[in-house]
Amino acid sequence: MKTVAVTGASRGIGLAIAEHFLASGWKVHCLARTESAVAPLLAKGHAHFVSFDAASAESVLAAAKTVLAAGDTLDALVNNAGIALSAPLAKTSTEDFLRIQAVNVTAPFLLTRELLPALVKAKGRVVNICSTAAKKGFKYTAAYCTSKHALLGMTRALAVELANKHVTVNAVSPGWTDTDMLAASIEKIAGSTGRSANDARAALESMNPMGRAVKPDEVASLVHFLCDSAAGAAITGADYTIDGGETV
């Protein structure tokens, strides 16, 4: 049985990714802050909870030890957990900036480093969930864009470094996706501009030429392809944008 570790598995894109792997018969280490948050997954097939707080380096290292202690060959790692902040530079505190880097960059770096021996043994796959914010700049998101550009850079560097070990490292960069992060952005726009929630959502969705948000299941299908297809063994250092044409 193949095994994958998925961070941020309790909701949104991470939840959809975990569900895809479980449906395909994989064992899934569901990395999340609380066991209750992944309870629906634990009732499905071979899902296992691993305590994980991406903002804490100690928690990330402990989670890696838990995964390795399970004794499984680790066929894939999906670094999905992430946070966002929308604020002008002048109102972005140092603490907020550092927390975003800790969650979006340092946690994937540490987890990949610690799990690398198991991934090398399995000739495994690493997929980092980036963002269209790794490809261009957006106003009021300097901290978030910085983190996602860094994660994409790390993806490319590791792809080259690990190619001779037959470990692939790729990025998936969604546009606006129908998750809690989108809901929070809608709420903030509505609160700061006086628009209705529907108008705020329409404004965000209009950035996508398809006129809609990306679905978490669509992102999950792409991640699954990179980890579970024959083609995935020869794809490395790639950044797959899934944004309905937003960045074309």
If residue 74 lies in a helix (H) or strand (E), which one and from where to where? Answer: none
Question: ∠ at Cα 12 (7, 16), nearest 5°?
Answer: 75
Cα–Cα distance measured from residue 136 to residue 183, given in angstroms and rounded to the nearest whole number:
22
Given 106, 144, 158, 228, which residue is catalytic? Answer: 144
**Cross-strand pairs, 240:** 172
- What's the gap between Cα 13 and its chain centre? 7
Burial tier of 196 (Cβ tally within 10 Å: 0-12, 13-18, 19+)? exposed
Confirm whether 144 is a catalytic residue.
Answer: yes
Compute the radius of gyration of the chain from its Cα atoms.
Answer: 17
Q: How far is CA 95 from CA 80, 86, 135, 185, in A?
A: 22, 14, 24, 20
Closest CA to 226 of 239, 217, 216: 239
Cα–Cα distance measured from residue 220 to residue 218, given in angstroms and rounded to the nearest whole number:
5
Q: How far is CA 37 from CA 22, 44, 52, 61, 217, in A?
A: 17, 14, 12, 21, 19
Closest CA to 201 of 216, 215, 214, 185: 185
Catalytic positions: 144
